[in-house]
Amino acid sequence: MPEVFSPQILKLLVDSFVQTLYMVGIAGFIGTLIGLPLGVFLATSQRGELFAAPAVNAVLGLIVNAARSTPFIILVVAIIPLTRLITGTSIGTSAAIVPLTIASAPFIARVIEAAIRGVDQGLIEAARSMGASPFQIVQKVLLPEALPAITLALTLTVVSLIGYSAMVGAVGGGGLGDLGIRFGYQRFMPDVMLAVVLVLIVLVQGVQSLGDSLARRFDKRSRH
């Protein structure tokens, strides 16, 4: 126990926590920038849909599935050349953001697609009957109506990213996972490991609660 409360360890814990937030935040943000439009397109481009392009839809779906079926740890190693190209290094927190982003974008695309598909088709028809363009339908109907589901989907994504970010610790990515492995496992300091796990639990719990409460606030379907 005393090691955990030593100033050095405490500082390491705080630094790792910030690194984790940084990795998850940036990867989640960029992943959403890519995944959101991709998800919307996947949800609206099958035959007879707003942006009907069945062939493109099929190809993108295949790419997304391929990316999602690659085990994360293999992805991290496989894309080291790309990581080096983008960040100049393959080790450290910034380098870890590259595989995290690449893993999160297709994941986000799929959860957004599911959220958009949850919007009642009747609303699309109503908007079309008003003379809305496909872009207006996305902007004024699909995204706003799917917002509660999208919020829950992004919450799920962030929680998964926190898990992944702990995994990039194994390849020197920094963050809480890195701390846990180097101190808790390699130096055999179980109390550090315990502290890391506790912080992760609190973090995940916090993110989930925040996401749930936002989604509830956005959801106007139930009487309150």
Partner 1 sequence: MTDHISSGAASSEAIIQLRGVEKTFAARGANAPVTALHEINLDVPRGAILGVIGRSGAGKSTLIRLVNGLELPSSGSVRVDGVEISALEERALRQERRSIGMIFQHFNLLARRTAFGNVALPLEIAGVSKAEIRRRVLPLLDLVGLSDKVDRYPAELSGGQKQRVGIARALATNPKVLLSDEATSALDPETTEQILALLKQVNADLGVTVLLITHEMSVIKTVADRVAVIDEGRIVEEGATYDVFTGPQHATTRNFVSSITGTQLPEHLAMRLSATPEADKEALVQLVFKGEGAAQPWLSVLTRKLDADLGIVQAKVDHISGRPFGTLVVSLPDVAKLPALLVTSKELGLETEVLGYA
* Interacting residues with partner 1 (CB under 8 A): 120, 122-123, 125-133, 136, 140-141, 144-145, 147-148, 218-223
The minimum distance between CB 127 and partner 1, in angstroms, equals 7
CA–CA separation, 110 vs 116, rounded Å? 10
Output the DSSP codes for 32-81.
HHHHHHHHHHHHH-STTSTT--HHHHHHHHHHHHHHHHS-HHHHHHHTHH
Contact assessment for residue 93 and residue 22, using Cβ atoms and an 8 Å cutoff: yes
Pick the closer one to partner 1 by CB: 20 or 57: 57
Q: Which is nearer to partner 1, 105 or 142 (CB)?
A: 142
**Which CB atom, from 11 or from 220, has the smaller least distance to partner 1?**
220
Residue 223 phi, psi dihedral angles, 5° rounding: -70, 135
Distance (Å, rounded) from C-alpha 204 to C-alpha 160?
Answer: 9
Q: Which is nearer to partner 1, 125 or 212 (CB)?
A: 125
For residue 53, the minimal CB distance to partner 1 (Å) is: 16
Contact 107, 35 (CB under 8 A): yes
For the bound state, the minimum distance from the C-beta of residue 117 to partner 1, rounded and expressed in Å, comes to: 16
- Residue closer to partner 1 by CB (options 144, 190) is 144
* Residue 125: Cβ within 10 Å count: 11
Task: Please report how close the Cβ of residue 116 comes to partner 1 at its closest, in angstroms.
Answer: 14
Q: How far is the CB of 224 from partner 1 (least distance, A)?
A: 9
**Min separation Cβ 146 and partner 1, Å:** 9
Nearer to partner 1, 185 or 218 (CB): 218
Burial (CB < 10 A; 0-12, 13-18, 19+), residue 78, is middle
